[in-house]
Amino acid sequence: MASQLNGKVALVTGGSSGIGLATAKRFAAEGAIVYITGRKQDALDKAVAEIGGKVVAIRADSSIVADLERVYATIRDKSGRLDVLFANAGIAAFVPLPAITEEHYDSIVDTNLKGVVFTVKYAVPLLSEGASIILTSSTAGYKGMEAFSVYSATKAAIRQLARGWLLDLKAKKIRVNVISPGMVDTPAIDGLVGDPNAAAGMKAHVASQIPLGRIAQPGDIAAVAVFLSSDEAAYINGVELPVDGGASQI
C-alpha cells in the first residue's frame, strides 16, 4: 500500500508518550515529517530515537502560549507549513468533588482546554488548504465518571470546539475531527492510580465491561489518527469518533 501521509508535515502535541508517541511513529512510517512536543526533554529524546524517520522534537508546554509560538516559529522556519495537527497533549487525575482544589482545576484546564485552544489558534497561519486537525477528547467527555469531573468537562468542551472551528476554518477547507478513546493502556493510566497492582486491576475490570474484551493499545488510536489525517478521510469533517471497543454504545 502507498504511504498515506507521504510528504505531509504533521505536529503531534504530547508526542513523547502513549497515544501521541504511537501516532508519531505511524505518521513517520506513513511518510510524514513529524514534529512532536512534550515538557520533558529526556522523554522527547527517547521518543525521537524510537520514532525514527523524519522527526523533530520541540520541548514545549501546551498551556504556555509563548511555548506554542516558539513551536510554530520552528515549524515555519524548517517546513514552511503544517498539513496535519494532532492536538493530543493532555493530563488526568482522579479527584472527587470535595477534594477539588484551585490547583487541580487550573492544571487540568490549562493543559486540556486552554492548551488545545491555543495549540490550534497559533497553528492557523501555517495550516495548508485542506489540512486535517484532530483533537483528542475521551469517552469521559459524555459519560459520568466518579472523581473525574474536571477532566471530563475539559473533554466535553473539546467536542464543542471542533464544531465551532470547522466553521471558522472553512475558507481553507480545513477538516476538524475528534477522537474519543475509551481506556488506553498508556503511562497516564498507571499514573492515575499510582500503584501498579491497582492499575492492573482497574484495567482488567474495565476490559471486562468492553464488548471487544480488552482495553485499547495506543496503536488502536494511532491507526484512526492516520486515517483521519489521510486523503481517504477527505470528506469526514466535524465528527467525534469513539475508539472504545463499543463500550460507550451499550
Ligand X SMILES: NC(=O)c1ccc[n+]([C@@H]2O[C@H](COP(=O)([O-])OP(=O)(O)OC[C@H]3O[C@@H](n4cnc5c(N)ncnc54)[C@H](OP(=O)(O)O)[C@@H]3O)[C@@H](O)[C@H]2O)c1
Q: Total binding residues for ligand X by CB under 6 A?
A: 31
Min dist CB 139 to ligand X, Å, is 7
CB 135 within 8 A of CB 116: yes
Answer for which of 9, 10, 43, 233 binds ligand X (CB under 6 A) is 43
Smaller CB distance to ligand X: residue 80 or 211? 211
Stretch 200-239 residues interacting with ligand X (CB under 6 A): none
| Residue 9 CA neighbour count, 13 Å, CB half | 17
Answer for which of 4, 62, 79, 132 binds ligand X (CB under 6 A) is 62
Stretch 148-167 residues interacting with ligand X (CB under 6 A): none
Annotated catalytic residue, options 72, 142, 151, 235: 151
Min dist CB 128 to ligand X, Å, is 23
Min dist CB 170 to ligand X, Å, is 25
Torsion of CA 142, 144, 149, 153, to 10 degrees: 10
The yes-or-no answer on residue 35 being catalytic is no
Min dist CB 30 to ligand X, Å, is 19
Min dist CB 27 to ligand X, Å, is 14
CB 85 within 8 A of CB 229: no
Residues 93-132, mask of contacts with ligand X (x by CB under 6 A): ------------------x---x-----------------
Residues 11-30, mask of contacts with ligand X (x by CB under 6 A): --xx-xxxxx----------
Amino acid, res. 248: S
CB 221 within 8 A of CB 26: no
Bridge partners (DSSP) listed for residue 99: none
Angle at 76 between CA 75 and CA 81, to 5 degrees: 90
Annotated catalytic sites, by residue? 151
Q: Which residues bind ligand X (CB under 6 A)?
A: 13-14, 16-20, 37-40, 43, 61-63, 88-92, 111, 115, 136, 138, 181, 183-184, 186-189
